[in-house]
Amino acid sequence: MERRKVVRLFFTVDDNYIPFLSTTLASIVAHASKKYTYRINVLHTGLSMESRKTLKKYQNNKNIFVSFFNVSPKMQSLSVRLDVRDYYTITTYYRLFIPGLFPTLNKGLYLDSDIVLNDDVAKLYFTDLGDNLVGAIPDASVQLYEEFGNYVDKVIEMDHTKYFNAGILLMNLKKLREWNLERRVINLLKKVTFRVAQDQDLLNYLCKGKVKLVEAKWNVMPLGEKMENPSLIHYNLMFKPWNLKNIMYEEYFFKYAEMAGTKEQILKNREAIPQEVVDKILQGVQGVKDFCNAEAAKANEYHEKIHGKPAKKPYKPIERRIREDEVKLPPLNAERQAIVDKIHYLEAHRKFDVDVENDPPFNHLMPGDVDYLRRKWTSKFKTMWANYYSNYFFKHMIKKGGIVIDGYEGLENLKKVKGGAIITSNHFSPFDSVPIHLAFKKATRHKKLYKIIREGNYTMPGLFGFFLRNCNTLPLATNPTVMRDMIKSVGILLKRGHFILIYPEQSMWWNYRKPKPLKNGAFIFAARNNVPIIPTFITMRDTEQKEENGAFIQAYTLHIMEPIYPDVGKDEKENIAFLKAENERVCKELYEKVYGIPLTYLPEEK
């Protein structure tokens, strides 16, 4: 059976706008085709459960799905201030971060929540963008009002007939990621304040020459001459039928509001708006015109001051004299991009336990090569110095910003375990054990933390090889005798009350944020030795700094969860399954809580 094509829609909303987004969704559902699957993503920073239930009713579990994505972590991580005006809220900026927030998607359609559809939105979604960054419709208000056009010509430095409205934005997400939209936006925000249409001005300035212009019927505003059979009506600026009477195209809005069950309440609320508030709303367009004129006047003043005569073409005021190469950023280098592509391939083929970066060639360990319990004085000596120097080395990396740790949650869960325990964690970097080691030192005094590692890592040359051989590590081995020695040593160390770190995913995927399915190894050790599992999970955010390979350095937060103890009423096999399932459950819940999105993987490929 052929899979349906997917239409991916994005909205941004807060609790105050739920009645209007409900109306929008009712219009989308009314025209949705059974040929397609519609995935509606609602971006927010804390919607109430009541609001979620209201929007969730448009999901039919067949071909229309509604999900929620909390962008709070992303917005809190930004290093720039986001300016707003009386007719814009902070939610308007969320669309700028969609490419990075949804790194596996290639295309998406962002829609404002003050619209209704009179046609199947899939027709707009499947517009061919080619190599363009976005598809959009020229802004009708800019074409209609001379003051708006003058502002665009001079301040945005572009032909106002090509200035698009960002309320309906078809996004080439793959291209925007490769082009580093988010980083360009942040760089530009640090240098420029666009005072009229903030994020819309940003997008137009950055995307000039890379825009596919779409038919006007897909963004019709209550302005100018009335269009027959518009496909999408956008109640832009102050022209909201829930605030003012006799708005052009209001019949469409109330048709779908009635379907959504919101019409009666919206009309009641409109009647309750005081006349002085209505008058202020009616004056809103003139206020924007005045603001545009003021910004254009500043431009002419600057140009005349510099050149001794008024500007005849787009100006470049001093705060806007930005060389294009200042916002150009190198993409990931070829090696790292190949790693990312391989991760996507492995995820789509459900090969979660395959490493994306292979071990270098190594000699297999033989009996007598490893002193697992550090019985020899030479082993003790090397371990002492390896721990001392690795501690110094990683503190230096943290000080220099090579490793960034935001903090720890749940240190008390390490303290409450009296005997030995298995610590589990996600594995995405050679340095992801650093926050675990530091947390362990903060929480415990009389225990040691050991780490199970691969055979190839144990035999690695150089400084890191020295650390990996001597910093309380327990290498796996292909030789059965050595492996039996390792398993026996694990049992002894656990009985002594020490902790052992194991990566049950059994693969390291570079900067991969999702929890992967777990293998049995860690849980066999826990069940067989009757010790608890302490699940940990490290979440990440992009910092401002980049690595040489072009990737942002990640900041880590270590989450330490409640210990999970073997059930005395179960046998070993049952306990292995129980411990693994509980570990997977708590990591999934934490991932969804922190990132605000459901845990999903790429569509499975055979």
Please give the mean pLDDT across all residues of the chain: 84
**Quick one: how many helices (H) and strands (E) in the chain?**
23, 16
Q: How confident is the model at residue 289 (pLDDT cuts 50, 70, 90)?
A: low
- Report whether pLDDT(311) > 60: no
Top pLDDT among 79 and 369 is at 369
Please give the torsion angle defined by the CA atoms of residues 166, 169, 172 and 174, in that order, rounded to the nearest 10 degrees.
70
For residue 169, CA distances in Å to 173, 204, 205 come to 11, 11, 15
The residue type at 552: F
What is the rounded CA–CA span in Å between residue 390 and residue 472? 11
Nearest to 44 by CA among 21, 78, 26: 21
Confidence of residue 110 (pLDDT cuts 50, 70, 90): very high
Same fold, 5-326 and 334-595: no
Greater confidence, 185 or 354?
A: 354
Residue type, position 479, single letter: N
pLDDT of res. 213: 93
DSSP 3-state assignment of 192?
coil
Q: What is the rounded distance in angstroms from the CA atom of residue 596 to the CA atom of residue 149?
A: 39
Percentage of the chain lying above the pLDDT 90 cut: 45
Inter-residue contact 248 to 222 (CB < 8 Å): yes
Quote the CA–CA distance of 455 and 373 in Å, as a whole number. 17
Q: How confident is the model at residue 327 (pLDDT cuts 50, 70, 90)?
A: very low
What's residue 1's pLDDT?
38
pLDDT at 76 over 70: no
pLDDT at 321: 39
For the chain, how are helix, strand and coil distributed in percent, rounded to 5?
A: 45, 15, 40
Distance CA 433, CA 252 (A): 57
| pLDDT tens digits, 16-60 | 899 999 999 999 999 999 999 999 999 988 889 999 999 999 999
Cα-flanking dihedrals φ and ψ of residue 107, to 5°? Answer: -150, 150
pLDDT beyond 90 at 499 = yes
Domain assignments of the chain as residue spans, ordered by start: 5-326, 334-595
Q: Say how far apart CA 253 and CA 247 lie, in whole Å.
A: 10
Note the pLDDT of residue 374: 87
Is residue 189 within 8 A of residue 202, CB to CB? The reply is: yes
User: Is residue 562 over pLDDT 60?
Assistant: yes
Tell me the residue length of the chain. 606
Q: What is the pLDDT of residue 80?
A: 47
What is 5-326's CATH number, 1.10.10.1100, 3.40.50.300, 3.90.550.10, 3.30.70.1450?
3.90.550.10
% of the chain residues with pLDDT over 70: 85
Alpha-carbon gap, residue 115 to 61, rounded angstroms: 24
Residue 314, pLDDT score: 43
Q: Taking Cα atoms as reference points, which of 372, 556, 391, 388 lies closest to residue 458?
A: 372
pTM of the model as a whole: 0.55
Kindly state the helix (H) or strand (E) to which residue 553 belongs, with its residue range. strand 552-560
Query: Which two tokens mark 71?
Result: 């962008």
> Residue 86: its pLDDT value, please?
42
Q: Which residue, chain included where needed, has tokens 């569509």? A: 603
Lowest mean per-residue pLDDT among 16-25, 182-191, 494-503, 587-596: 182-191
334-595: CATH topology = Glycerol-3-phosphate (1)-acyltransferase (3.40.1130)
